[in-house]
Amino acid sequence: QVRLVESGGGSVQSGGSLRLSCTVSTAAYTTYATYSMAWFRQAPGKEREAVATIRSEGDTSYLDAVLGRFTISRDNRNQTLYLQMNSLKPEDTARYYCAADQFPSSITADGIRAGGNFRYWGQGTQVTVSS
């Protein structure tokens, strides 16, 4: 069983920054480092979208709309996932969720972001960007 808890959301003005964190608890027989991780977001009335993924090997993939503004990273020692969000825009307003799962090493970070079915999810943290 994997438990994920997000934090760091809030309200900022356009152009501002936020850093989301996701602390991960794994069963004793598994290690966080073996999981691929992702940040998703969902705005009211819109479908959920995968914002960024990071594989256990460390390679990453980003949604085009956030490329160059958001950075996903992971701290395996502290079992924490991060999303640094800079130059925020009103269209980034959404509830952000972190997700975890294990995927075959043959699947790229792009592939995971495009179609990976994650089994483990957090409750989400709200990000609101005002103009």
Query: What is the pLDDT at residue 116?
Result: 87
**Rounded to whole angstroms, how far apart are CA atoms 118 and 113?**
10
Q: Which residue from 77, 72, 85, 84 is spatially nearest to 37, judged by alpha carbons?
A: 72
Query: What is the pLDDT at residue 72?
Result: 98
Express each pLDDT in 94-125 by its tens digit: 999 999 999 998 999 999 999 889 999 999 99
Express each pLDDT in 38-87 by its tens digit: 999 999 999 999 999 999 999 999 999 999 999 999 999 999 999 999 99
For the chain, percent of residues with pLDDT exceeding 70: 98
Write the burial class of residue 19 (CB in 10 Å: 0-12 exposed, 13-18 middle, 19+ buried).
middle
Query: What is the pLDDT at residue 26?
Result: 86
